Chains A and B, each alone.
Chain A
Amino acid sequence: MSTTIPIVTAGTKTTRATCPYCGTGCGVLIETTAGRITHVQGDPDHPANFGRLCTKGSTLHLTAATSVQEQTRLLTPQRRRARGDTPAPIGWDEALDDAADQLADIIRRHGPQAVGFYGSGQLLTEDYYVLNKLVKGLVGTNNLDTNSRLCMSSAVAGYKATLGVDAPPACYDDFKHAQTLFIVGANTAYAHPILFRRIEDARQANPAMKLIVADPRKTETAEMADLFLPIRPGTDVALFHGMLHVMLAEGLVDMDYIAQHTQGFEALRGLVADFTPASVAAICGIPQADLVQAAHWFGGHTPTLSLYCQGLNQSTRGTDKNATLINLHLATGQIGKPGAGPFSLTGQPNAMGGREVGGMANLLSAHRDLGNAEHRAEVAKLWGVPDVPAQPGKTAVEMFEAAARGEIKALWIACTNPAQSLPDQATVRKALETAELVVVQEAFATTATCAYADLLLPATTWGEKDGTVTNSERRISRVRSAIPAPGQARHDWSIFADLGRRLEQRLPERQAGWRHGMDTLFPYDSPESVWNEHRESTRGRDLDITGLSYEILETQGPQQWPMPQGHAQGRARLYEDGVFPTPDGRARFSAVPYEAVAEPCDEHHPFALNTGRLRDQWHGMSRTGTLGRLFGHVSEPSIDLNPVDMKRLGLGAGDLVRVTSRRGAVVLPAQPSDAVSPMQSFIAMHWGEEYLSGRDAQGRLMTGVNALTVPAFCPKSKQPELKNAAVGIEAVQLPWRLLGVAWMSEDRALAVREAVKPLMGHFSFASCVPFGREPHERGMVGVLFRAAAPEPASDAVLRQLEELLSVDGPDVLRYHDRHQGQHRAMRLRRSDEGLKLEAFLLAGDVSAEAWVRPLLQEELVADAYGRALLSPGAKPPVAVQSKGRQVCTCFNVTEPAIVETLGTCAGSADERLAQLQGQLKCGTNCGSCVPELRKLIKLHPVAMA
């Protein structure tokens, strides 16, 4: 394969690609010198972002730094002789032959249903297409699902149930046309920061615009709202029915539109009659007047655009939530026109592309349905095979449950980390342990799933991949390789194609009935050849892109679908004519009852646990977790609780709690947050076993946040309810604490973090995160390891930690009281300014963290301390002037600096923001911190003259 030969190029070149994070689909310009990625900036010509990038996107080049790559990437195929062993490198041919042999053997012994493929919304459309064809066209099973199941499947099902097909009808440009923006179940400020910048711009341009936010948490998005509806978890359907009830009562529905373009309204009208404002206010836990206000704006202050994401999707009623929100748009005619429509924001960069090629257990190519015999025949014909299997495949949760039961014998996992991201990790781990064959095709060697692999296959990732992606607004962008694949990594599509060709040889009976003359299902020599085949599959479908080509994407830039042959450009918004892709051209109302969450709280599990994103992290953090600077905003795992609950439980900020659900437990620090309502709680979805672990009293390893979450899923979309689990929360008595913090060379910090991970199991609680600010002037990255246990750790474990964290050598100050479990060690470095703390380990009483940690992290001169550095207690022997919490990641501006400067800023909120930005530059680059700046402006009003 050409991709295995590194091509060294001289000089600097710029390559157009897209950001690999969220579904916004921002264009990026990747700058490379001599085959290395040196810089990234937003593509000013890309219609998703017009040059802007968020904190994550703007640091992409840092995640592609050589030092990061060398420490985190999977660079050669590897095989484990036995589970638990260290894998050994092998060649590609050996790896793929082995994989094909084992797969073929399992298929022969147990049938194709014994094989499951689990992919990712981060694969490119071409990768997805080949995978889909491999599984459904060759292996003969529909057991192909991807992490998009955790992300967008309810949106898919919601669109299909109401509008006929899976197509978001609106576009980003609609933000500026909307009069009312209804954001529900989405924290756009964190999850889609660049879209939020566009929303901010739109509001600035149109001060009359109303922003309604419905969310159980008062997120940064909610903070910006004109009307915030803090609904109880899972009550969205009641809210929407209640709004429709009010709109009906007050004549805000569009009866003409309903009559001309929809069907099923009467049933819905009957249903919502019971959803009186009083009853809905009681169900949702919001003031009745606010419900009425929301309905007034939705129906009366139009056009109205709804934006929604995982709050609706990750739910056992996910499809219903999507559909009943769409009800509101159909009932008011708020669809198919500028500034209106139900706009599902996709979570992943190419969830849309995956849906387009049908890369899911219940989908077929180009928005076709498995359940439809005609569709199956069409696809079989396109592929030149006699048929595609009719039996629906196992979806994500079902697939792992089947593997845990031993029904699925082989799991092929590509570009995703189920041992982090799937709910009910106990079952997931059992599945990975039970399966006869686990293949992990990955770019990163650091994910929890890699530990279970029998075979590890190195894949390319951002900056290396070549193909296309589709963003939330149906816009297809070209992704181009900026650098050659490192090591022996290969593109995912080519791995799938290579595996496919080997399987064809081992399963010759599959070739019976193939189109005459066809000798392989995988005749591809480039991503374009794959894409052209995919394009042909869309002919005549709602997402018809037969008018599009790689060449058009190259020359005219990203294009929205549909774009059938003969069209010069794609369509910005759908259903402008009120005709829907249903048999009768009418959209369907969804008259579904409100049903509560799968796992209501009870006396043993009285708290509702919500999960979601952090501003500066992405998914399981295999990429964002490589950068210390992305931990500046939220530095360590925690569970957020309402201050009232904290007080009632007798908890102080940072106190450890054990959070227990019916499936598992996790121990982590509690932090007070006004954003969380009483009896609710929040843990960021990112904190998997890689960052948060420890061993419970029974000796079982704790597997992060998804040890707690429920596998219950929506019966229609099969999307699990990651947004709500019932949990008990109690303070834990783990009096012995440990904190190790160290600066270390960027060439080894991440490797050290990997080496520290196995030590997490020695403690009842442990977390390990990087910190710092790349590019650091001395090329240093920080590593922070925190742990707690009922008893002191052994000296051997302490020594191991000290060695790993470089708290060793001749320049270490030490205090050791073994019998009391008190241990403190500080390594100092001589610098031009004086002595500086380079690494430390506190054990036993770690309250000195309060002043020792700022000394290290902020690289303050420590000459004034001497051996008093070792003294215990939270009170510093000499006062420390800490810079405080970082708010602006781009310019490293901290909260105290902002608050101080605000003291000198006068005028309106906007004027003060402008002054703040002028003086400190915060929020002037990626803008991700602007919502937080606005919050601080509100909290610190102009001083009275």
Chain B
Amino acid sequence: MKKMKLVMVGNGMAGVRTLEELLKVAPDLYEITVFGAEPHPNYNRIMLSPVLAGEQTIDEIILNPVQWYADHGITLHLNKKVVRVDRTRRVVVAEDGTEATYDRLLLATGSNPFVLPVPGKDLEGVIAYRDIADTNYMIETAKTHRHAVVIGGGLLGLEAANGLAQRGMKVTVVHIAPWLLERQLDEVSARLLQRSLEERGLAFRIGAQTQELVSDDKGRVRAVRFKNGTEVLADLVVMAAGVRPNTTLAEQIGLHCNRGIVVSDTMQTVTDPRVYAVGECAAHRGIAYGLVAPLFEQGKVCANHLALFGIGRYTGSQVSTKLKVTGINLFSAGNFMGGEGTEEIVLSDPFGGAYKKLVIQGDKLVGACLYGDTADGSYYFQLIREGACIKGRRNRLMFGEAQPEEASEGATALATA
């Protein structure tokens, strides 16, 4: 029997994870072709920060080497950006003219960094932080230049800033929101984080609005100028002000997009049931996830449907966050900011450098924000996802899964104190 053809556009973590899931349940169903715009096989993008910080190498973060694709009979087109799809003929066409026909198309085009539309954004020394190329550029720049500014105090921005500082640069993080990681932390924990990063030598301009990037006489960025007229020296400006789902191709081929390629609970695009989308490019129930765990959950559901099992629904994810800066532990999940109808439990321990906030609604844990001691993060995350009733354990919840009677908790606390 002739195999069906599956073409995947994008060679990132969400897409390849979908293939892996598919191969597990239906190894022989499809003839698979993958187009990747980067020259690399699938690597762990979220580990770019440790690479930048010099804690890991590119080789160490490769998830699926080229051989893996070969072993599974996957046709891999690296460095080939898909520019066209004929949905009637079911043909995918790459920049260089390479074509592939499909019975099922999987879009995993990921996201693009958001570049601030300010004067000077195209100067030399101004980059976004997204892939291995950007990482390598930063590593090289750090060898020859002194002053870096990272625009954006989100996860990626802080990791970039930390990495650059590790590589000897004097780094200032510019953040327009009132506190760092405003989507992951509350103000208290963000201040703790900021203090801790300041102790490591990072500087911050919180609430500062970037007016323009100032050029030197050679066309390289020299400084960042703010709306209030002040400047910070910068030979390198890294834009880490968020990402936008990469829907260029999808829009071009007439798929309904709204902050991402709109998909159903089966990860099929609402426009064309032969076309699926997973990962950062997909908008599910209005949300385009930017974290790895939901993407993997999407991949699993998507693979299930590609395998023609027709069961399983993706209904959305509870997300949790960690910052990959060595020595700084933070974790947040769910509705950690609380608000109407919610109750908060807060613990702070300046000696142990820890802060924890749990948000409770009714008898359920709905959010957690942990700083310093994240050992119980997975416990809380599980309670949040399961919607478990915490009525009987509310007063001990803050002290973790282990019974406080056990000496180990005290010992753990001591280790961090």
Where the two chains meet, the residues of A that have a C-beta atom closer than 8 Å to any C-beta of B are 810-820, 822, 828, 835, 845, 863-868, 870-873, 875, 877-878
- Which of A811, A871, A877 interacts with B350 by CB under 8 Å? A811
Asked if B212 CB lies within 8 Å of chain A CBs, one says no
Closest to A830 in B: B351
- Which of A810, A812, A877 interacts with B410 by CB under 8 Å? A877
- B347-359: CB near A (< 8 Å → 1, else 0) gives 1111110100000
- Which of B394, B395, B413 interacts with A866 by CB under 8 Å? B413
Verify A871–B409 contact, CB threshold 8 A.
yes
- Which of B345, B350, B352, B373 interacts with A810 by CB under 8 Å? B350
Interface residues on B, range: 20 to 34
Distance in angstroms from A473 CB to nearest chain B CB is: 60
Q: Please measure, in the bound complex, the distance between the C-alpha atom of A818 and the C-alpha atom of B347, giving whole angstroms.
A: 12
Distance in angstroms from A509 CB to nearest chain B CB is: 73
Q: Please measure, in the bound complex, the distance between the C-alpha atom of A870 and the C-alpha atom of B356, giving whole angstroms.
A: 12
Chain B residues with Cβ below 8 Å from A871 are 396, 399, 404, 409
Chain B residues with Cβ below 8 Å from A873 are 396, 404
Distance in angstroms from B192 CB to nearest chain A CB is: 11
- B183-211: CB near A (< 8 Å → 1, else 0) gives 00000000000000000000000000000
Verify A817–B344 contact, CB threshold 8 A.
yes
Q: Please measure, in the bound complex, the distance between the C-alpha atom of A875 and the C-alpha atom of B404, giving whole angstroms.
A: 9
Distance in angstroms from A93 CB to nearest chain B CB is: 55
A-B contact pairs, 27 of them (CB 8 A): A811-B351, A812-B348, A813-B351, A815-B347, A816-B344, A816-B346, A817-B343, A818-B343, A818-B344, A820-B345, A864-B410, A866-B349, A866-B410, A866-B412, A866-B414, A867-B349, A867-B354, A867-B417, A868-B404, A868-B409, A870-B349, A870-B398, A872-B396, A875-B405, A877-B405, A877-B410, A878-B407
Distance in angstroms from A870 CB to nearest chain B CB is: 6
Distance in angstroms from B298 CB to nearest chain A CB is: 36
Q: Please measure, in the bound complex, the distance between the C-alpha atom of A845 and the C-alpha atom of B394, giving whole angstroms.
A: 12
Where the two chains meet, the residues of B that have a C-beta atom closer than 8 Å to any C-beta of A are 343-352, 354, 360, 373, 394-396, 398-399, 404-405, 407, 409-414, 416-417
Chain A interface helix/strand/loop/mixed:
mixed
Most chain A CB within a 10 A radius of its CB, from B344, B345, B349, B412:
B349
Chain A residues with Cβ below 8 Å from B348 are 812-814
Verify B351–A866 contact, CB threshold 8 A.
yes
Sorted nearest first, the 10 A-B pairs with minimum C-beta distance are A866-B413, A866-B417, A819-B343, A867-B349, A817-B345, A877-B410, A868-B410, A871-B404, A878-B410, A814-B348
Q: Please measure, in the bound complex, the distance between the C-alpha atom of A863 and the C-alpha atom of B415, giving whole angstroms.
A: 10
Verify B347–A863 contact, CB threshold 8 A.
no
Closest to B404 in A: A871
Verify B404–A828 contact, CB threshold 8 A.
no
Chain B residues with Cβ below 8 Å from A872 are 395-396, 399, 404
Verify A877–B349 contact, CB threshold 8 A.
no
Chain B residues with Cβ below 8 Å from A863 are 414, 417
Chain B interface helix/strand/loop/mixed:
mixed
- Which of B354, B360, B394, B407 interacts with A877 by CB under 8 Å? B407
Q: Please measure, in the bound complex, the distance between the C-alpha atom of A374 and the C-alpha atom of B254, giving whole angstroms.
A: 125
- Which of B354, B394, B404, B413 interacts with A817 by CB under 8 Å? B394
Distance in angstroms from B384 CB to nearest chain A CB is: 17
Verify B395–A845 contact, CB threshold 8 A.
yes
Q: Please measure, in the bound complex, the distance between the C-alpha atom of A731 and the C-alpha atom of B270, giving whole angstroms.
A: 67
Chain B residues with Cβ below 8 Å from A819 are 343-344, 360
Q: Please measure, in the bound complex, the distance between the C-alpha atom of A471 and the C-alpha atom of B62, giving whole angstroms.
A: 96
Chain B residues with Cβ below 8 Å from A866 are 349, 351-352, 410, 412-414, 416-417
Q: A817-B343, A866-B413, A868-B404 are in contact. Are A812 and B350 (CB under 8 A)?
A: yes
Q: Please measure, in the bound complex, the distance between the C-alpha atom of A866 and the C-alpha atom of B417, giving whole angstroms.
A: 6
Given A867-B413, A877-B407, output 14 extra A-B contacts at Cβ < 8 Å.
Answer: A810-B350, A811-B351, A813-B348, A818-B343, A819-B360, A820-B343, A820-B345, A835-B351, A835-B417, A865-B414, A866-B352, A870-B347, A872-B396, A877-B409
Chain A residues with Cβ below 8 Å from B344 are 816-819
Verify B413–A815 contact, CB threshold 8 A.
no
Closest to A879 in B: B407
Verify B351–A865 contact, CB threshold 8 A.
no
Q: A815-B346, A818-B344 are in contact. Are A867 and B352 (CB under 8 A)?
A: yes
Chain A residues with Cβ below 8 Å from B414 are 863-866
Distance in angstroms from A390 CB to nearest chain B CB is: 71
Chain A residues with Cβ below 8 Å from B405 are 875, 877
Chain B residues with Cβ below 8 Å from A867 are 347, 349, 351-352, 354, 373, 413, 417
Chain A residues with Cβ below 8 Å from B411 are 864
Chain A residues with Cβ below 8 Å from B354 are 867
- Which of B360, B395, B413 interacts with A868 by CB under 8 Å? B413
Chain B residues with Cβ below 8 Å from A812 are 348, 350
Verify B409–A817 contact, CB threshold 8 A.
no
Q: Please measure, in the bound complex, the distance between the C-alpha atom of A865 and the C-alpha atom of B351, giving whole angstroms.
A: 11
Q: Please measure, in the bound complex, the distance between the C-alpha atom of A864 and the C-alpha atom of B417, giving whole angstroms.
A: 9
Q: Please measure, in the bound complex, the distance between the C-alpha atom of A877 and the C-alpha atom of B409, giving whole angstroms.
A: 8
Q: Please measure, in the bound complex, the distance between the C-alpha atom of A810 and the C-alpha atom of B351, giving whole angstroms.
A: 9
Distance in angstroms from A155 CB to nearest chain B CB is: 56
Q: Please measure, in the bound complex, the distance between the C-alpha atom of A818 and the C-alpha atom of B409, giving whole angstroms.
A: 24
Closest to B348 in A: A814
Q: Please measure, in the bound complex, the distance between the C-alpha atom of A67 and the C-alpha atom of B273, giving whole angstroms.
A: 84
Most chain B CB within a 10 A radius of its CB, from A815, A822, A872:
A815
Closest to B407 in A: A878
Distance in angstroms from B416 CB to nearest chain A CB is: 7
Verify A815–B345 contact, CB threshold 8 A.
yes
Chain A residues with Cβ below 8 Å from B416 are 866
Chain A residues with Cβ below 8 Å from B373 are 867
Distance in angstroms from B14 CB to nearest chain A CB is: 38
Q: Please measure, in the bound complex, the distance between the C-alpha atom of A351 and the C-alpha atom of B348, giving whole angstroms.
A: 57
Q: Please measure, in the bound complex, the distance between the C-alpha atom of A820 and the C-alpha atom of B344, giving whole angstroms.
A: 10
Chain A residues with Cβ below 8 Å from B394 are 817, 820
Closest to A814 in B: B348
Verify B395–A822 contact, CB threshold 8 A.
yes
Q: Please measure, in the bound complex, the distance between the C-alpha atom of A868 and the C-alpha atom of B410, giving whole angstroms.
A: 6
Chain A residues with Cβ below 8 Å from B409 are 868, 871, 877
Q: Please measure, in the bound complex, the distance between the C-alpha atom of A816 and the C-alpha atom of B359, giving whole angstroms.
A: 12
Q: Please measure, in the bound complex, the distance between the C-alpha atom of A870 and the C-alpha atom of B399, giving whole angstroms.
A: 9
Closest to B395 in A: A872
Chain B residues with Cβ below 8 Å from A865 are 410, 413-414
Q: Please measure, in the bound complex, the distance between the C-alpha atom of A878 and the C-alpha atom of B405, giving whole angstroms.
A: 8
Distance in angstroms from B391 CB to nearest chain A CB is: 11
Closest to A845 in B: B395
Q: Please measure, in the bound complex, the distance between the C-alpha atom of A345 and the C-alpha atom of B112, giving whole angstroms.
A: 94
Q: Please measure, in the bound complex, the distance between the C-alpha atom of A820 and the C-alpha atom of B394, giving whole angstroms.
A: 9
Distance in angstroms from A874 CB to nearest chain B CB is: 11
Verify B410–A814 contact, CB threshold 8 A.
no
Most chain A CB within a 10 A radius of its CB, from B343, B350, B354:
B350
Distance in angstroms from B355 CB to nearest chain A CB is: 9
Q: Please measure, in the bound complex, the distance between the C-alpha atom of A814 and the C-alpha atom of B352, giving whole angstroms.
A: 12
Q: Please measure, in the bound complex, the distance between the C-alpha atom of A866 and the C-alpha atom of B347, giving whole angstroms.
A: 12
Closest to A865 in B: B410
Distance in angstroms from A829 CB to nearest chain B CB is: 11
Verify B351–A877 contact, CB threshold 8 A.
no
Distance in angstroms from A879 CB to nearest chain B CB is: 9
Distance in angstroms from A275 CB to nearest chain B CB is: 62
Chain A residues with Cβ below 8 Å from B345 are 815-817, 820, 822
Chain B residues with Cβ below 8 Å from A845 are 395
Q: A866-B414, A873-B404 are in contact. Are A817 and B395 (CB under 8 A)?
A: yes
Q: Please measure, in the bound complex, the distance between the C-alpha atom of A864 and the C-alpha atom of B348, giving whole angstroms.
A: 17
Closest to A811 in B: B350
Closest to B415 in A: A866
Most chain B CB within a 10 A radius of its CB, from A810, A835, A870:
A870
Closest to B354 in A: A867
Closest to A867 in B: B349
Chain A residues with Cβ below 8 Å from B346 are 814-817
Verify B347–A868 contact, CB threshold 8 A.
no
Q: Please measure, in the bound complex, the distance between the C-alpha atom of A868 and the C-alpha atom of B399, giving whole angstroms.
A: 7
Most chain A CB within a 10 A radius of its CB, from B344, B354, B410, B416:
B410
